[in-house]
Structures are given as structure tokens and as C-alpha cells.
Structure 1
């Protein structure tokens, strides 16, 4: 379990993360006020959807505005690369500058780092995040398929070895068995290998069950949609919260 501000991740009901995906300052301000009304546990800024992402001063200014509005709500800062489902291409050099700026601003609480950026770059960014008290969500996304159970577990364990506070993997199922594979991998990770919270997601319509059953299979958080979803299969926050509470209540009985 880790505690980010007042949110305990890895304990009790899976925490709900809601993404902000507005492309302009005005859209983001409207969106964040709407999302605050949904009472998420964590707010993610998907900065790859931001039109001014190439301007680091604009990004930092918007981060400051979001911090003022969100007050004590944890902020997860994410630039999703184009190869892993993001909205724009970016060089490794730009990615590094952007993530370092966000970390050093100390306006965020968690930062997303993609596993396959390369071990040297990931290690460098992990060290900087830890020096600045920022938690690391290390991630991998496959929008085409679901790897074998052993590969899913291997990637999550590699993230732990590289210093992730919260390893995360999201995969696309092509059939029901793929969803079972993801859930089985999650359960084995929970039972045998995990020494910290992790997040696993089976995307798309077939994988919706994986977004609901984290408390059973081990996933510590789940993503819900605010105004719009940032990945296929995300559920409306209010519906998601209700289902998670029903499952939690019945697990306690």
C-alpha cells in the first residue's frame, strides 16, 4: 500500500482514476470542474491530448492551474506515446524534458513512465522522481493483443525491479480467454510476486470485467471516464463507483 496525499492505493476498494483529455486551456478548466463533481480518487492529465504540449511553459502553467483547482486531489501526469495509444508522436528527447519538467515542478503527485523507453532513461527518470517525492506509475500498453500470462507477469516484475511504485499493464483481448489470461496473471502476481500495488487492465468491451474486479484479482486502481474516455472500455465514473462498492460490500460479508 502507498499513500498519495489522502488516498491509500493498494488497500480496500480499487481507486478510481479519471483522465482529463481536453485540448485547450478552456476545455481543460471546464473538464476538471466537471470531473471534480464526480469525486474521483485520482485525476490523470493526459497531456498528449493538449494542443500546447510542445510548449513546456504552457504545460507548467496549465499544471499550476490544475493544481489550484484540484487542491489536495492527487494528480497523475501522463504523456502516452503514440506507439502505446497516445495522441501524438514525440522524440525521446522531448519526452525526457517534459517528464523532468513535471517532476521538478512538484505540482504533480504521480508520473507515468513507459517501460519500453529503455532501461537507462527509465532509471534516470525514476531516480529524479524519487528525489522529488513523486510516485512512479510504470506502464505498458498493447492495443492489439494480450500477451501470454508469463509475459504479463514478467513485464510487471521488470517494472518492480526498475523502481516503479505502481506497475501497470493494459492489454487488448481478442476473445474471452484473453480476459481470463489477464485476470489469471493478475491473481498470480498478487499471490506470488507483488510487493506493492499494481494495475492491470483488459481493454475494450470484452475486458470490462477487469475494470470491476480489481479487489478480487489484485488490481489496485481502475480508470473511469469523465466527459470522455481515454481508452476503450472505460466506464462512467458514477456507474463504476457503484459497482465497486457493491463488490466490496459483498466481499466483506
Structure 2
């Protein structure tokens, strides 16, 4: 029954009209409820639960229950993410096997529409979770984040290709530019890879230098952009209303 995140693969030279995703970062159930209630009147296509901010991250039953509630109350696809500290997430007490068990639970209970798994995870765990998610028709994003720099175009292309080969439903790259040239590198890679990939691509440059990629990424083939709600989950995220306005203008004139 789950139809995944419903992101589109680029067709030819078309402009992609990216969907807007807003992170939920509350530390407890009440804070999360406040966050999603504030988004009721916003044009938000997806929600991402950044569970690494959740104070009871070891309570798997509670997490499954809250994820189910978010879906029921918001009527929006839900992306489930436990971001590692190495890739910009919060420090938590779970080891990799425990993270896998957490993902298994939300997948098995059909509590989410998609999960974000970092490419740094062990390949056997990636394959296992992809198999579990496919059985439930839940999308898997395989992601690479670099909060320090923008690697070479070649390395970024390799990360995207790795996600495709491993069986991702969506590939994601996020980098930290040190200059406007770094942003161009990210956009050039997005333009090139989105033309040939069999799956949707999400890309962004973070920080002040990279804000343009969050607004105009769809022109280069990025299928999703992240905007800030009550809180920002990464440097350079722009408030939802501003992103909505810019995307509406671009769509009307493209």
C-alpha cells in the first residue's frame, strides 16, 4: 500500500519541479506535534523525521507509534532519518546494528514512506534494509554528506553511481562549498548525472554559498529541496514560505 516518496526521475532536458521537504527535529512527542501542526498551512510535500534529535531514541515501540501518528495527522509522506554524527547528525548511543534494528522496525510496521541510509554503512546492512523496504514498497535514499568541503566532481559522480549500483530508489549528495565555484561543481554534477540516472537525484550545497542550490536545484535535475520549519537541520536551509515562493515563480516562468 505504501507508495514511497513519489519523487520523479528527470526526463530528457525537462526542468524538474522539486518537492519541498521539511525536517521534524523535536526531542519528544510534544515538540514533534508542535512542529508538524505549525506546517499545516504550508506548502510542504514531505516531512523528514530526524530521529537522531529524539531523546528516547532507544524506545523503538514509541518511535514506531509516533511515526504512524505523523503519517495519520499530516497526510504527507514521511522520510525517516537517523543521521550519523560523522555526516552532520547528533551524537546518539546507538551502534550500527542497533540503527539497523530501528530501521527494520519502522519498515516492518509500514510506519514511513522512505528511509535515508548513509553510504558509509556496511554494504551487507544496506542490502538487507533495501530488501526489507522493497517488500513494503518503501523508498530507500542512499546518501552522502560532506560538511567540510566539496569533493571533486569525479568523487561525487562515484558516490551517486554507488547508490545506483547498490539498489537505491533515490540517490542524495550534500556538500559544503568553500566558494561559488564549489557550488558550480555540485550543480554541474547534478546536471550531468540526472540525465542518465534510472532513479531520482537529490543534491544540495550547504551554507550561505550554497543557498542557490536549494532554490534552483530543480533546473539542474534535483528532485527534492529541504526547507526549514521550526528548526533547521543543516546550514543554509531557507524558511519554507520563502522556498515555496521562489519555486512557484520559477515554475510559472519555466
Which residue in the other structure is 2:140 paired with?
136
Say if 1:215 and 1:248, in contact at 8 Å, map to a contact too.
no
2: CA distance between counterparts of 1:136 and 1:68? 21
The DSSP-based 3-state class of the residue aligned with 1:231 is: coil
Do residues 240 (structure 1) and 239 (structure 2) align? no
Which of the numbers 13, 29, 33 marks the counterpart of 1:29?
Answer: 33
What CA distance in whole angstroms lies between the structure 2 residues aligned with 1:155 and 1:77?
Answer: 21
Mapping 1:30-179, distance limit 5 Å = 30-71=34-75, 73-89=76-92, 90-179=94-183
Within 2, Cα distance between the matches of 1:25 and 1:174? Answer: 37
8 Å Cα contact 1:13/1:245 also seen in 2: no
8 Å contact from structure 1 (residues 202, 210) kept in 2: yes
Question: C-alpha displacement at 1:8, in angstroms?
Answer: 4.8
Question: How far apart are the structure 2 equivalents of 1:64 and 1:23?
Answer: 17
- Residue 53 of structure 1 aligns to a residue whose secondary structure is coil
Structure-1 separation of matches of 2:187 and 2:212: 9
Runs of 4+ in 1 over 2 A off after TM superposition: 7-12
1:207 and 1:34 map into 2 onto residues whose CA distance is 26
> What is the CA–CA distance in structure 2 between the aligned matches of 1:106 and 1:39, rounded to whole Å?
25
Is the 1:140–1:169 contact (alpha carbons within 8 Å) kept by the matching residues of 2?
yes
Q: Distance in 2 between matches of 1:88 and 1:36?
A: 30
Which residue in 1 is equivalent to 2:211? 208
Q: How far, CA to CA, are the matches of 2:23 and 2:66 in structure 1?
A: 15
Give, in whole Å, the separation in 2 of the partners of 1:8 and 1:156: 16
Aligned residues between the structures: 246
Q: Deviations over 1:201-241 (max 9, x none)?
A: 10000000111112211101000001111100001111101
Q: Distance in 1 between matches of 2:104 and 2:163?
A: 19
Q: 1:70-110: per-residue Cα shift (whole Å, max 9, x none)?
A: 23x10101110111111123311111111111111101111
1:227 is matched with 230
**Does the 8 Å contact 2:68/2:112 carry over to 1?**
no
The Cα shift of 1:36 comes to 2.5
Q: Is the 8 A contact 1:201 1:207 kept in 2?
A: yes
Gaps of 5+ in 2: 11-15
CA distance in 1, matches of 2:27, 2:156: 32
Q: Which has the higher contact order (CA 8 A, sep 6+)?
A: 2
Match of 2:252 in 1: 249
Structure 1: gaps of 5 or more residues: none
User: Is the counterpart of residue 217 in structure 1 residue 220 in structure 2?
Assistant: yes
Match of 2:13 in 1: none
